[in-house]
Amino acid sequence: MDAMECLMGRQSTPAGLLVEPAPSDGEVLTLLQTAMRAPDHGALRPWRFLIIRGGRRQDLGDIFAAALARREPEAGSDEVEKARGKPMRAPLVLAVWAEIVENHPKVPPIEQVVATGAAAQNLLNALHAQGYDAILVTGAPCYDENVKAPLGLAPKDTLVGFIHIGTAKQMTPMKKRPDPADYLQTW
Ligand SMILES: Cc1cc2nc3c(=O)[nH]c(=O)nc-3n(C[C@H](O)[C@H](O)[C@H](O)COP(=O)(O)O)c2cc1C
């Protein structure tokens, strides 16, 4: 695929439409080479990725459910079960986070999060280039210490999102995009 065609053709697929095939662990490693090319002040390599597939998605769902029950004790069982089912929507979930270096003299945490977001975007483009479909999602679990800790994150670390990956079982209509001229000025 031509590079511009790829970049201008990527769009997210709702997680519920993602089915097998998803990339193998080896393919994920290859695709992650693009993430290693994200802009990265201080070469801190703050990005971290965790493969969650098969039964581990259920484990993640259990973490989501338990965290919701603690966060919102008044949540109904239907809401808790909905949270539990979230990671099951796609065959592969990649947790993406920034392992933050605190008190760095030149690179504040926000720059480390930006670098990790850029790494995630490179990965989304690479997935598209290889014919896979994906979506980055966050929601309350990303900001919940009871989700971060069991995944191995420290409180200082920022969970950037969960990239749900697979192959779209049906085409999503191409979204109309804004006119970039509306977002550009010349100073
Ligand atoms: C940091 C971040 C968090 C997001 N979290 C969610 C989310 O929790 N749920 C969701 O449906 N979309 C979420 N999105 C939006 C989707 O990833 C996606 O960008 C959106 O559906 C638009 O699709 P597009 O990528 O084709 O423009 C998030 C996007 C970003 C950048």
**135, 164, 177: which to mutate for ligand 1, most atoms within 8 A of CB?**
135
State pTM to two decimals: 0.97
| Domain spans in the chain, listed from the N-terminal domain onward | 15-52+88-171
Instruction: Please state which CATH class domain 15-52+88-171 belongs to.
Output: alpha beta
Q: How would you write the pLDDT of the chain (187 residues) with one tens digit per residue?
A: 799 999 999 999 999 999 999 999 999 999 999 999 999 999 999 999 999 999 999 999 999 999 999 999 999 999 999 999 999 999 999 999 999 999 999 999 999 999 999 999 999 999 999 999 999 999 999 999 999 999 999 999 999 999 999 999 998 999 999 999 999 999 9
Amino acid (1-letter code) at residue 116: T
For ligand 1, whether the C-beta of 139 sits within 6 Å is yes
E runs forming strands in the chain: 18-19, 47-53, 92-98, 133-137, 158-168
Number of H helices, E strands in the chain: 6, 5
